[in-house]
Structure 1
């Protein structure tokens, strides 16, 4: 059980926006589990669409199509379903060009007749396969190249990261790529009432989304809030 009682819409402290609760997943999820989530008020959803797959240079997540269609059958609105892209990076990995990785993601979305609200660029290190190892300045260069690929395809996109990951990858929480890009950030503080960053990074002081808990009771979701 994800939550027994939940306010689906909560007014922020500044009253500038309302909040909706959501979940995100990388593992496959069936119709019944999505139905339970949406029934408990988690009306926004983010599904992994592309994984780093370092040994093969990046690949479409094979679980995305079934998870997406299960979510739609459970009642999720396409405008409330996002996808995240965990790009292949790293000097020792045979990573495809970022434009190619993005093209593969786009082709999969088109082939499966999916509609999504936003693509989230997942900026997080994976030490197990040596991602983001270009040095702080080199990592900034690579991140800007990925952002350029997204802009070139005119996708509605945002960035997912956390203060700790940002500092690890770019050398400082103060490094700014483009703070006008919407941010979905991870801070597992259990607070589902505010999108304000207690530890600002990347030029952001507030986000579009927040991952506030790392695991749901079912074990297949992370728990989030998003600005509606």
Structure 2
């Protein structure tokens, strides 16, 4: 889920590519920031294919501003509702750069929670995105000091736990090692984990988890496993377990 994608990132399962099976998985759509607000028809298109989970970027690192609410968040949320979605997650890409005047973790978390509450958004889970931003506008958004990164990440999870909302973490095996120095480094293993692992061919399961586990997490809640271009847009495909939400 890289913030420099210049398109709608919709996590979808296309029946031409992979036929949904009667298993313990649910499927989702994801809109990032950029590219912009997605029309209700785009959300409805994915919903009609049986993808009943929407994930919307609602906080961006915006390094020049120290972090802030994604400009597309509310519009995408409203259009997802109008497109038929009842189960909606958000993801939170924090400002962490040592070269930028980032707001404190507490302030960034509180800003998002206040925004959610003020707009009466019905949100299931907010995913904290721990990964490096390679865009020129926000390069080097993490320190080279792994211990400092780990301490900073823990400040975000501690701030999140102090709220009344449900939180999880999004990352990858490679990103985790790059940021924190070791796959065994633990930020907070009590959080749900949604991870990405693009295999060839794509694997619509968690069979890879034992060999790519990180962060002290025991069982994953979701997996991003490939990209796909289809009639509703450009997609990332994910699976989620029913335990993290299997809406109607």
TM-score, scaled to structure 2:
0.82
Task: Name the Cα RMSD after superposition.
Answer: 2.0
Shift of 1:219: 4.0
Is 1:211 the counterpart of 2:228 in the alignment?
Answer: no
CA distance in 2, matches of 1:158, 1:30: 27
3-state SS of the aligned residue for 2:153?
helix
TM-score, scaled to structure 1:
0.89
Conserved in 2, the CA contact under 8 Å of 1:56 and 1:94? yes
CA distance in 1, matches of 2:182, 2:146: 9
Conserved in 2, the CA contact under 8 Å of 1:91 and 1:134? no
Shift of 1:221: 3.5
CA distance in 2, matches of 1:114, 1:9: 31
| Runs of 4+ with >6 A deviation | none
Conserved in 2, the CA contact under 8 Å of 1:25 and 1:221? no
Cα-to-partner distance string for 1:59-86 (whole Å, 9 max, x where unaligned): 1001111111111111111xx2100000
Shift of 1:4: 2.8
Q: How many aligned positions are there?
A: 220
Is 1:118 the counterpart of 2:129 in the alignment?
Answer: no
Cα-to-partner distance string for 1:40-65 (whole Å, 9 max, x where unaligned): 11111111000000111001001111
Taking structure 1 as reference, are residues 76 and 134 closer, same or farther at Cα in structure 2, changes over 3 Å only? same
Conserved in 2, the CA contact under 8 Å of 1:195 and 1:206? no
Conserved in 2, the CA contact under 8 Å of 1:211 and 1:223? yes
Aligned match for 1:144, one of 146, 149, 154: 154
3-state SS of the aligned residue for 2:212?
strand
Cα-to-partner distance string for 1:12-46 (whole Å, 9 max, x where unaligned): xxxxxx11011212032111111111111111111
3-state SS of the aligned residue for 1:201?
coil
Shift of 1:200: 1.2
Cα-to-partner distance string for 1:179-203 (whole Å, 9 max, x where unaligned): 2211000112222233751411112
Which runs of 5 or more structure 1 residues have no equivalent in the other structure?
12-17
Conserved in 2, the CA contact under 8 Å of 1:44 and 1:226? no
CA distance in 1, matches of 2:129, 2:81: 23
Shift of 1:132: 1.4
3-state SS of the aligned residue for 1:176?
coil
Conserved in 2, the CA contact under 8 Å of 1:85 and 1:122? yes
For 2:27, the equivalent position in structure 1 comes to 21
Matches within 5 A, 1:136-175: 136-175=146-185
CA distance in 2, matches of 1:103, 1:216: 36
